[in-house]
Each structure stands twice: as structure tokens, then as C-alpha cells.
Amino acid sequence: MAATREIPVVWIQTATCSGCSVSVLNSASPKITDLLLSEVIPGRHINLRFQATVMAGSGEPVIEVLDAAAKGEPGTYVLVVEGSIPTKDGGIYGTLGEEPMVDRAIALAKNAMAVVGLGTCASFGGIFAAGPNPGGCISVGRLFEQEGIDTPLINIPGCPPHPDWFIGTIATVLVGGLEAVDVDELGRPTRFYGQLIHENCPRRAYFDEGKFAAHLSDEGCLYELGCKGTITHADCPLRRWNNGTNWVIGSGAPCNGCVEPEFPDLISPFYERLPEEALLVPRKES
Ligand code: SF4
Ligand code: SF4
């Protein structure tokens, strides 16, 4: 029988609320224990070397794991970055093991096989980079541009991201390598971010007929109440959340566009309607 191949994963949390970790830990199929302890793909096993929310260790011994990865053989591990990167004043607004997060992220990203930006903060700056952005937070992609880092980068945005978006992408990499993940111009896997919410929304017929809800939980399209599904690329209407139980529009509230680079500054106020010129799909006259 072929030996099981171990894929080391180093998962750092930078400027984050840790909600992305919480979302991924709630994965139902496969369960997170299957992902971390079993072979999620036959013959392939993830070896999670560092993850501050779930690991038992602390202090100097776990920081040594980061140092060993950054200084070890290049291209041997996948780096997951959860959160945006504080860069102002030398990065003193966020530290990891007494070193600025930005320095850790640069060293680990340069030496990694691939980097996954988990969540909208890592992918596009997100909440922590929202104005006035006192810590000078930037996305992982922006850090790569500034530092000339050319390690392959996949973005899994979402506030938080759906567990399937992360685990499905990791599983695809384990089976077929990085080249098996088809991404859009923003580095998002097209398998999960390839279509507009609006294309698959069960309320779409209301939009086309010009029937708009006046209050949350009313029947009708939620466009007038601030729905950003017309400009938001994700499969939430098909996949739904909490193990397929429901999703935001299914419960009567508008999509906030959390997977897009414009979130949150340019896509807010959340409960005000988008200007019509922002619509990618022309709205029928009512
Ligand atoms: S605007 Fe929002 S609620 Fe209306 S059809 Fe599009 S996605 Fe659905
Ligand atoms: S429905 Fe919209 S706000 Fe909700 S998770 Fe999906 S993309 Fe984000």
C-alpha cells in the first residue's frame, strides 16, 4: 500500500476576529477532525503545524515552529493567512511571537509552496482595512506586490468564508495540485465564486417583475433594502449555510456582499440600495 503523504500546513492569524477559524471549524462534511486527523483524501493527510485557536501548545516552542518553517527547506508547506496585515509604523500594531505580523507573514510566505488568504480581510483588507484603517492593514495580495513575493496565492474571501470554500479548495490542491484550482482575476476559486448571488437567488423572479420588499422578511426582492447580490460572486444560494440549512436571503435579510473587494467601505451602508449604475445585471423597469 502506498505511504500516506503528509502536507504540512502553517496557519497564522494576523489582524482578524478569528471568525474565519470558527466558521471552518464548524465544517459538517467532512468534519474538521476528519480533515485534521484522518486522510481527507485517500493517501493525503494534512499536518497542521501551527494554528493558535486550536493548538494545545503555547509560548516559545510553538514560535519555534514558525521559525523552522520560514528558515527550512523552501516549498514544503502551505501557509494559511487569516486576517489582513498591519503595516503602519513598522507593523507594531500586530505582533506574533514578539515580532511584527508583517515580518512573520513575509518570511513564511516567501518560503511556502503556496499561500491561502482565508477570509475577506486576508483577501482584500476587509474589516481591518476599513477607513480610517489606523493600523495600515493591507491584504496578503497587496503585501505580495509590495515585497515582490511570487509564491502562488489563492484567495478564499467571505466574512466569514463558508467552510466548504476552504476545505473544498484544500482538497482540490491535495488531489490535483495548485494547477487544479481554477481562479478568477481576484484569485478566487471559480468553483465557489464563479456566479453572482443574483443569478441563483430564489427571489430573482421578483426582481425581474419589479416586486420589491418594503420591510425585512417581506416577500419580494430585497434590492431596495440594500441587497448586494447583484454584484456579489458566491454560491450561497445553492450551497447555503449551517450544513445546508439556510442562508441570509432565505431568512429574509439582504446579502452584504462580503466576498467582494469593496466590502465593507464601498458596499455600505448595508441597508441602503445600490445605485442602479452599479448593477451588473440590468434592472427591469417596474
Ligand atoms: S437583488 Fe438580492 S434578493 Fe433580489 S434577486 Fe438579486 S440577490 Fe435576490
Ligand atoms: S449571502 Fe452575501 S453576505 Fe451572505 S455569506 Fe454569501 S456573499 Fe456573504
Residues 254, 210 share a domain: yes
Cell 482540490 belongs to: 172
pLDDT tens-digit series, residues 40-60: 778 888 899 999 999 999 999
Instruction: Please identify, among 175, 191, 207, the residue that sits at the C-terminal boundary of a domain.
Output: 191
The pLDDT of residue 45? 84
**pLDDT at residue 37, as a whole number:** 77
Q: How far is the CA of 197 from the centre of ligand 1 (A)?
A: 7
Considering the domain architecture, whether residues 217 and 80 belong to the same structural domain is answered as: no
Provide the number of structural domains found in the chain.
2
Final residue of a structural domain among 191, 210, 225: 191
Q: Locate 80 and state its grid cell.
A: 494559511
Looking at the CA of 255, which ligand is closest? 2
Mark whether 58 and 100 lie in a shared domain: yes
276 and 180 in a single domain? The answer is: no
In this predicted structure, what is the pLDDT of residue 285?
Answer: 45
- Where is the domain boundary, 191, 226, 251? 191
Q: Check if the beta carbon of residue 41 is closer than 8 Å to that of residue 171.
A: yes
Q: Are 199 and 186 in a shared domain?
A: no
Provide the residue type at 113 as one letter: M
Ligand 1 atom nearest 228 alpha carbon: 2
222 Cα–ligand 2 center, Å? 13
Backbone angles phi, psi at 118, to 5 degrees: -95, 120
CA 59 / ligand 1 centre spacing (Å) = 48
Determine which residue's CA is closest to atom 6 belonging to ligand 2.
Answer: 236
Q: Is 263 exposed, middle or buried (0-12, 13-18, 19+ CB in 10 A)?
A: buried
Residues 238 and 150 in one domain: no
**CATH number where 266 lies:** 4.10.480.10
Does residue 173 share a domain with residue 65?
Answer: yes
Q: Rounded to whole angstroms, what are the CA distances from 153 to 24, 109, 141, 178?
A: 19, 9, 8, 9
Burial of residue 129 (number of CB atoms within 10 Å: 0-12, 13-18, 19+): buried
From 164, 247, 271, mutation site for ligand 2 pocket: most ligand atoms within 8 A of C-beta? 247
| 208 shares a domain with 179 | no
Ligand minimally distant from the alpha carbon of residue 226: 1
Ligand 1 shell residues, CB under 6 Å? 197-198, 201, 203-204, 207, 221-223, 227, 229-230, 249, 255
With cell 468553483, the residue in question is 191
Q: Which positions of the chain have pLDDT values less than 50?
A: 283-286
CA of 1 relative to ligand 2 center, distance in Å:
43
Domain of residue 218, residue span = 195-286
> Is there an atom of ligand 2 within 6 Å of 201 CB?
no
SS percent in the chain: helix, strand, coil, step 5? 35, 20, 45
Clarify whether residues 122 and 236 are in a common domain: no
Verify that 93 and 61 share a domain, yes or no.
Answer: yes
Return d(Cα 23, Cα 201) in angstroms, integer: 23
Taking the CA of residue 212 as reference, the ligand 1 atom at the shortest distance is 4
Name the closest-CA residue to atom 4, ligand 1: 221
CATH of the domain at 144: 3.40.50.700
Residues 217 and 186 in one domain: no
Inter-residue contact 129 to 123 (CB < 8 Å): no
Q: What is the pLDDT of residue 286?
A: 39
Q: Encode pLDDT of 198-209 as tens digits.
A: 999 999 999 999
State the pTM of this model: 0.94
One domain for residues 154 and 206: no
Given the CA of residue 281, which atom of ligand 1 is nearest to it? 6
> How far apart are the C-alpha atoms of 98 and 103, rounded to whole Å?
11
Report pLDDT digits (tens) over 49-94. 999 999 999 999 999 999 999 999 999 999 999 999 999 999 999 9
* Ligand 2 midpoint to CA 258 (Å): 5
